[in-house]
Structure 1
Amino acid sequence: MAVVLVLVVIAVASVLFHLLSPWWWTPIASNWNYIDNTIIITFWITGFVFVAVVLFVAYCVFRFRHKPGNRAHYEPENRKLEFWLATVTTIGVVAMLAPGLFVWNQFVTVPQDATNVEVVGQQWQWSFRLPGANGQLGTSDTRDVSGDNPLGVKKNDAAGLDDIIVEGGELHVPVGKPVKMLLRSIDVLHDFYVPEFRAKMDMVPGMVTYFWFTPTRTGTFEVLCAELCGVGHPQMRGTVVVDSEADYQTWLGQQHTFTQMMASGEVKTTQ
């Protein structure tokens, strides 16, 4: 009976904890409410199965508890039971996977009018690169990373000469416009994550990964690294500031281009 009571308490307490819990998601600030909906669907399916299984185990412990003279019934095969278990399990798995696959397809299908923004992760800081007046990002190579060229932008690529270089971990984006985040790491695995945007992706050395989102409200949001990347991992933080269009243009005009950064570095070297 003690085991039965413990199992029942676990099932009831799990439901009550969900209904009464003070911990909830941060308010969403992007178009990815689909991700919230997918998580909720998965949670309810797995939660229902968890409670059903725990209560079923409690019932079995009580119903088939030891009694003097009782003998166990040996039934090595039950095709009807196996059929229903396989069918219900399949339905549950499909119900969990289908919404996720649908959202994933949206997550990697970038709108044509999205603005490219490169995010560069390295131990333990964030840097960013935005297209300049020509609207294109120049090419880059990790082998070109140096003290005066921290993002490895190729100097012989004319498309990258007017790229906007943002160091210091604070990125600005305009509200209501889609942004494609091009993610690159120059040392180890990182993961660019902004909880309010419900968007994250691993950054793999030697690869360029991506996702897109549309910010839906102005504000300042914290960037986290969601992949253990060394002793400084907890301090690898930054901010994304979502501006009105006017404020964004003002901020953009205050940033330095790759050409200006290189010229400044050459002046310092000469001095």
Structure 2
Amino acid sequence: MDLQGVGALVAAGVAAVSVPATLLIGRWQTKAAVQTARAATAQAEATYRAALDAVRVQGLNEYDQWRRGIQRDAYASLLQAVLNYTEHATNVFGQSMTDPHQFPALIAASKPLATDMSHKRLVVRLEGPEEVSAAALSLVDTAEALMQTCRDWASSGLARTLLDERGSAHRREVDRIKDLIATFRIRGYWSLIGTPQLPDDAAAILRELRSLLRAVDMSGGHIASLCNEQSAGAYGDAASTLDSAIGHFLTVARTTLHRGPHPVTDPLSPADPSGPRQ
């Protein structure tokens, strides 16, 4: 075989050996490129998820702060409404001793305050939580109890004032009314009005009282005010109960606002089947 033939055979052999080597090297290179791409993809996904988690946490924190702000405003608004209402109740109590005739106007002025307090209480009930809502209900009830005490006191004062004013022209009728009221109160008949237990003599007193009041230009509705006379100590007891209710409401509201983050549903959480899949 000449040299050209030998060279051709050698070149063919080298080519035969180099082809698998080239394929092997190419496979290694491809595998390395795939691994690098996978690593880059994993890194990019991890970076994306970390950024997404950070945004999610920030969003939840901002939502929690927003919720606390809404609740704080609701609690403060209710407390202010209660204070406005009970301050007016105190005015009703005080005016009844200085100018009893102001009673109807004062009671009319209390109605918008009562409506506002009731509305603020409903807002607290909506915002929750339940323990704050319960404390708010107790607070409003004690405020209403204080107003009722002041209302009864003022109504009684106005009725006595009107009766005294009738005395100059109707002395005999007024004296008789006072005697009957004293008898009615001493015997405890007041609590039996409207019940089957009201004795016949009490019913007879009521009929006479209505007749006498009409004679002095007063209505039968004043009988309740004249009989249901409040003591000054009743106001102090109601005010003390209100102070306790305010303190309890503040304690419960403060505990709620200062506790850990509110539980919220994260719409992006993997546990939420309705959330988007990444």
Q: How high is the TM-score relative to the length of structure 2?
A: 0.26
Computing the radius of gyration from Cα coordinates, the structure with the larger value is 2
Q: How high is the TM-score relative to the length of structure 1?
A: 0.27
More strand by share: 1
